[in-house]
Amino acid sequence: MKLQDGLILVAIFYLAYTQLVRGQLHPLDGCPTKCGNVTIEYPFGTSPGCYYAEDRSFNLTCNQTDHKLLFGNIPVINISHSGELRVRVAPSYSCYNSRGSLSNGIYNTISLANLTLSTKNRFTVVGCDSYAFLSTYGVANYSSGCMSICSSTPEANGECSGKGCCQNSVPRGSNSFKVQPYSFNNHTSVHSFNPCSYAFLVENGTFNFDVLEDLKSLRNVTDFPVVLDWSIGKQTCQQVGNTSICGANSTCFDSTRGVGYNCECFEGFEGNPYLSYGCHDINECTSSRHNCLDPNTCRNYAGGFYCQCPSGYRLDTNTMSCKRKDIGWTIILLGTIIGFLVILLGVSFIRQKMKHRKNTELRQKFFEQNGGGMLIQRLSGSDSGSSNVDVKIFTEIGMKNATNGYDESRILGQGGQGTVYKGILPDNSIVAIKKARLGDSSQVEQFINEVLVLSQINHRNVVKLLGCCLETEIPLLVYEFITSGTLFDHLHGSLFDSSLTWEHRLRIAVEVAGTLSYLHSSASIPIIHRDVKTANILLDENLTAKVADFGASRLIPMDKEQLTTMVQGTLGYLDPEYYNTGLLNEKSDVYSFGVVLMELISGQKALCFERPQNSKHLVSYFATATKENRLHEIIGGQVMNEDNKREIYEASRVAIECTRLTGEERPRMKEVAAELEALRVKTTKHKRSDQYPETEEIENLLGVQILSTQGNTSGTGYDSINNVPILDIEAGR
């Protein structure tokens, strides 16, 4: 068992050793560090385990005879951690005798394994009857040439500019090259001072052209310094990540030759970055690399140094010397700074107080300017019908936060009465915030009027007013948020699919008519809306109608049936009698509602300049089509069918009655609402009778009397708040 155990241990050590040598990332102990006067540093080495084993290009040879360090058979000058290896390479040449016969010559072809030529080298040709080619091989094969001609000895020295000497750049990435010199006339014309053509690679800046010596014999130089580029592997720093061989206190950088990576010590460190702990701190204080005037004040730390003055002294950064602190000036400076800060804080406090006072005065100014005094006066009961109204007052900051600074993306719509924004209150409730457009005192009165009107209305089909804000330059009204846009959008817009059925349209007409009837007859003070149109009728998610925009509305005193006012409204919906006389009464709303009812029935706009000359106004267009018995032509097929044709014609008759030229000929909104609701009940009854025929017979037996087609309401009442008819039942009919 002992022999077997021993064999196992030997096998383990052998495998470990072979793996170590094959993938060695750091040199073994005892590796040679010198060959002649050249220092050998990892990843280069001269024996297995001493060089980076993943690339045999790092395996150098130390010639024990002449103690020269060789890369292949090329002498090495030095090794740079930055990825450069300097070697000495012999020149190529071709020499001729006086008869023009080739006497001797050498063409160099050199392979560099995985190392490549650096761009720091220059391809150089020396001779007055010479040209040469440099052929390189590697990532891409490349050939270049250089030519030098002169009929006599050039005068200038040190300049390789084409007269007796020319130079070209060397491409990056070549791991093999060949140098071939030639002569145009075999040097017969210049043999006396230049018998040879020379071509060689040399590190840039290390060759100074000597006219006499170099043209004659190249100063008998046997080799020139050449820079080779080397790197670790074929991956970038990002690709190798934490698996690079860079040691502690060093960093990885991508090789300038475009393949692999190199390592360098951090600033303030020195050593071999390719060893585990090769980079060590530079003690600037002992190596005289500091700039402290007094070396005794120098304090070293890992990666740097600082100058520390003794107590009572300060460091003068201009001279890096220690100077005694001036206590008096310090106290004066400190006192000055403290005094300045006190004054600054005082001025800032006063400015804040003044700014706060100015903002308060400005808000008060806006409050009065926007009719705040008028609103308070009317809310206190000075105006009849305005007492005991609860209006919530919102702050300027609250409104700004709710609309995200009145961002354009929050705009819901714009019209003659102002701009409406979508707002989000602190409790996350969504509201509609209307910014009124005020230009004079009459418009301020309209704004306050809208607040008062809406505050007194409590109806399921009227947009609820939540409050207002008068502290801003432009006053604001806060409403409940209605989700599904306006009736105009649904009938004519592109935001919604115009798929309202006849039942939807009739129900919306009943709801709007009932709301106007409530405003005219059931409110504490009769209210005339004065701007009834489809754009002022909102629809919620259930398509329930909500009458909005009461900026033009008027309160009618109990002792008056009409008012004389400045004409206001929207073309297409404006009552022609009110337009001509300026006399406002509830029949003006009846006319506007009649236009809305025509829009609901026909799907046509109230005013359309694309229609024929006599039909641009919907009222004339509708009336003409009805009179000529072609109403079906202006009503879409998705609305009218055989089942509802009769109800549509009945509703059309009501719309025409509402839009008669004189107000006396128009029915009241209460009568219109009752008649439409009766029509809606009849429509529902007909649908029900299709499924349950006995229902119609039972109702006929009960003798339910619906409002007559002539507008007679003697047998019918109307509950405008709940939108239901009150039907009288006469026994025996």
Distance CA 477, CA 421 (A): 10
Q: 3-state class of 590 per DSSP?
A: helix
| Residues across the chain | 733
Ordered DSSP codes for 639-662 = T--TTTHHHHHHHHHHHHHHT-SS
Q: Which residue has the tokens 């007013």?
A: 465
Distance CA 531, CA 417 (A): 10
Distance CA 648, CA 383 (A): 44
Q: 3-state class of 32 per DSSP?
A: coil
- The answer to whether the CB of 133 falls within 8 A of the CB of 170 is no
Amino acid at residue number 71: F
Q: What does each C-alpha distance from 362 to 373, 441, 473 come to in angstroms?
A: 15, 18, 9
What backbone phi and psi angles, to 5 degrees, belong to 567? Answer: -65, 130
Q: Of 528, 529, 487, which is closest to residue 509 (Cα–Cα)?
A: 487
Distance CA 395, CA 360 (A): 12
Q: 3-state class of 223 per DSSP?
A: coil
CA angle (116, 117, 120) in 5-degree steps: 140
CA dihedral 618, 619, 623, 625 (to 10 degrees): 0
- Establish whether the linkage from the previous residue to 225 is cis, with ω within 30° of 0: no
- To the query of whether residue 390 is one of the catalytic residues in this protein, the response is no
Distance CA 193, CA 337 (A): 82
Distance CA 195, CA 187 (A): 6
CA dihedral 486, 491, 496, 502 (to 10 degrees): 110
Q: Which residue has the tokens 């009834």?
A: 532
Distance CA 322, CA 383 (A): 85
Distance CA 448, CA 334 (A): 60
How many Cβ atoms are within 10 Å of 125's Cβ, its own excluded?
28
What backbone phi and psi angles, to 5 degrees, belong to 14? Answer: -65, -45
Q: Of 508, 531, 524, 431, which is closest to residue 673 (Cα–Cα)?
A: 508
Amino acid at residue number 637: G
Distance CA 200, CA 117 (A): 13
CA angle (482, 585, 673) in 5-degree steps: 55
- Establish whether the linkage from the previous residue to 43 is cis, with ω within 30° of 0: yes
Query: How many contiguous H segments (helices) and E segments (strands) does the chain have?
Result: 15, 39
Q: Which residue has the tokens 């009222």?
A: 619
Q: 3-state class of 516 per DSSP?
A: helix
β-pairing, 68-71 with 108-111? unpaired
Element (DSSP H or E) covering residue 85: strand 84-89
Q: Of 519, 537, 606, 533, which is closest to residue 568 (Cα–Cα)?
A: 533
Residue 400, class by beta-carbon neighbours within 10 Å (0-12 exposed, 13-18 middle, 19+ buried)? middle
Q: 3-state class of 546 per DSSP?
A: strand
- The answer to whether the CB of 437 falls within 8 A of the CB of 417 is yes
How many Cβ atoms are within 10 Å of 595's Cβ, its own excluded?
26
The active-site residue out of 129, 214, 531, 575 is 531
In sequence order, what are the residues at sequence separation of 6 or more whose Cβ sits closer than 8 angstroms to the Cβ of residue 355? none
Q: Which residues are catalytic?
A: 531
